[in-house]
Each structure stands twice: as C-alpha cells, then as structure tokens.
Amino acid sequence: MVASSARIFHPAMQVSATLGSPVSQQPRLSKSRFMSGRQCTLRLWNDWFHRDLATPADSNSQARFDEGNEVGELARRRCPGVLVAADHRQSSEALAETGRLLADASVKVLHEAAFEHRGAFVRVDILARRNGAWDVIEVKSVLDVDKTHRMDAAYQGWVVAGAGLPVGSVSVMALNREYRYQGGELDLASLFRVEDTTAEAGALVPLIEADLARFQALLQQTEAPHVPPGRHCTSPYECPYLANCTRHWPAVPDPVDWLPGFGPAKHLPLRAAGIHSMGDLPLDSLNAQQRQVLACHRDDQPWVNEGLGNALKAFAPPIHFLDFETFAPALPRLIGTGPPARSYPYSGPATAWLERAS
C-alpha cells in the first residue's frame, strides 16, 4: 500500500467533531444504500421507504452472504485487531466506541470502525494505523477488483477522511487466484492479496460528493423516481425489487428470455418496451440458433439435428447416463484447489438405457 496522506480526501473537520455522536440532519446513507443508489435510484428509494417490497433472499443468496461473512472473519484473523462490537443497528454506540478506540495509542488495527460525514455512514472492515495515518481496507470475497469494489472502498475512504482521520491509503483485500490449499489450516498470508486503490479513490471524490447530494435530495422528495426496468436491474447485482417492478408484465407462453443469448441485459429492456413474446421479435434480429428455437415454439414441433443418428451408431446398450453439476465456493475446500476460479464437480443420479429402441 502507498501512503498518500489525507489531503487526497480533503478532510473537513477534527475527529472529535464527528466521532461519538451523529452530527448530520440529512438522510444517513450507509455504504450499501449509497451503492444501491448508484445502481438505481428507485432501488435506493425502496430501500429507504418500502423495504417490504423486496423479494426475500433465497438459499443461494443466503449462502453467498454467509460465505462473505466467513471471508471477512478470515481477513480479520489475517490482520488481528480490536472489533467495534456495536452492531449495524447501533450506529451511535458504534461511533462512540470507535472514538474511544482511536484515542488509545495502543490500538493499531480496528475492525468495523464507524464513521459519519455529511450524512454518509460507514463501517470499515479493517482500519490499520501506519506512519501517523490510517489505512482503509475493504474486504471482498472476489478474485478481481472491479470498478464497483473501487467505488465501495473510495466511499469509505472519503467518509473516514471527512470525519477528520488522516487516511494514508485506501485498498481492497481480495482473494489470491494463485493460492492452492495444502490441507489443514488455510494460509491466510497467501490466501489474500491487497490491491491499492488510493489513486482511484482520490479521483472519485467529486463523483461521490455529487451522488451523495443527489441521493439525499431524492430521499427528501415525496414521490418515488420513475425508473423503467433495464440492464441495470441485474448489474452489478440483481435488485431485490425486480419482481415488484415487473409484476404487471403479462405472463406469456414464449417469453423472450427463453431464447439463447437473451440474458437480463438484453431481455429486460425489451420487456420494458412491451416486447414480451418471442413472436414479437423481428426475425432479422435473431441468429440461426435463436430462429430455430423460435420455430420449435411456434410450430410446437421438436427439432433433431440430422447428424445425430449417425453420431449415436457407435454406441450400443447398455448405455449409462451420468448427470453432474458444479459449484464454486469462495474458499478452497479440497487439497490442490484455489479460490472460486475453480469449480468442483459433483454427480447426480445415473440412468441406464438397457435396450435398443426400434
């Protein structure tokens, strides 16, 4: 990490002015709500006023959340320090506890330190004292640090510095794709890598300040913003309000998203524009495979490649069919494997074809 001083973030006041009790009368935006607003202002509005409209997390989402928590715990073990114990519902207590710990010169590393500035509120994964300043480290259970992760870390760095703490660097701690599990305890020094994002954080300050002001003004309005569904609904993450926003779309027997290649980025704008069925699409906009799928649905007839019969002549009963799936946990579980770039296969039930069909 590169020490770059707090001047990048232009701290506005002394630590004692903002640690210990909330000072802002504006809508308080946590990091997650700020990032929600950047994805979609209607998502932020619903987060603030109508959280009840969100689709409950399914088992897959909960598993990813739990895995992220496990990665966070390991990162804290890699950088041992003092945990700010107040939970996310106790912001005032967390600010006060953070202030007391920062005043203790013997404390070198804090976990979940709380800061507020201009109505922005953050809990920093790892805050490390170094050379008279503090390094802000955001932990992510990913291999590659993208622009969303950089903005996430920059927002925290801006809030911490705005609260008056000298910020030496802003970084993202991610998983190391070169790591291979050797059995026993995970080698935490090798499992993680730290990517310095201080320069990007400094460059993002004007955008952070503009977005924060825009979001706070939005939350003081009386009406929700009008934002049609589109590719933003699943990027960078699937919005929990997507089902609510699309609840009035008609149910059709051949929805456009059944076509290969019509993922959310492509089919959501189409459906928002009123194109719901495959048959509504102009044929010249489809490739050969998509036209074949459309024809099968339109004519209610299967399609079999003419070369399939010859390809199968080399096989004779009994023929066994084995189905398998893969899963990619963030943390390696098997010796010789690494973080989530590697998928683990697992088998399903096997079936057998014992007689030749006529």
Residue-wise pLDDT tens digits, 94-142: 999 999 999 999 999 999 999 999 999 999 999 999 999 999 999 999 9
Closest CA to 201 of 250, 271, 147, 123: 147
Q: What pLDDT does residue 22 have?
A: 46
State how far the Cα of 18 lies from the Cα of 9, in Å rounded to an integer: 16
Q: Which residue has the tokens 């320069």?
A: 199
Which comes out higher in pLDDT, residue 45 or 338? 45
Q: What is the dihedral of CA 107, 78, 94, 142, to 10 degrees?
A: 150
- In contact, 88 and 121? CB cutoff 8 Å: no
Q: Which residue has the tokens 């026993």?
A: 184
Q: What pLDDT does residue 349 have?
A: 66
Q: What pLDDT does residue 347 have?
A: 65
- In contact, 168 and 7? CB cutoff 8 Å: no
- In contact, 44 and 36? CB cutoff 8 Å: yes
Residue 29, CA atoms < 13 Å, CB-side half-sphere: 29
Helical ranges in the chain per DSSP H: 15-18, 31-39, 41-49, 59-78, 91-102, 147-162, 188-191, 198-218, 242-245, 264-272, 288-299, 308-312
**Record: fold of 6-218:** Lambda Exonuclease; Chain A (3.90.320)
Mean pLDDT confidence for 175-183 = 94
Q: What pLDDT does residue 325 have?
A: 78
**pLDDT digits 0-9 by tens, 192-231:** 999 999 999 999 999 999 999 999 999 999 999 999 999 9
Mean pLDDT confidence for 164-176 = 97
- Return phi, psi of residue 53, to 5°: -85, -10
SS3 state of residue 46: helix
Which range among 140-149, 265-274, 334-343 shows the weakest confidence by mean pLDDT?
A: 334-343
**pLDDT band at 29, cuts 50/70/90?**
very high
Q: What pLDDT does residue 342 have?
A: 58
Closest CA to 127 of 112, 149, 106, 146: 112
**pLDDT band at 77, cuts 50/70/90?**
very high
Residues of the chain with CATH 3.90.320: 6-218
Is it the case that residue 354 has pLDDT exceeding 90?
no
Tokens for 65, please give them. Answer: 């959340």
Rg of the chain in Å (alpha carbons): 26
Q: Which residue has the tokens 């939350």?
A: 219
Tokens for 158, please give them. Answer: 């801006």
The gap from C-alpha 337 to its chain's centroid, in whole angstroms, comes to: 23
Q: What pLDDT does residue 10 have?
A: 43
Which comes out higher in pLDDT, residue 130 or 284? 130
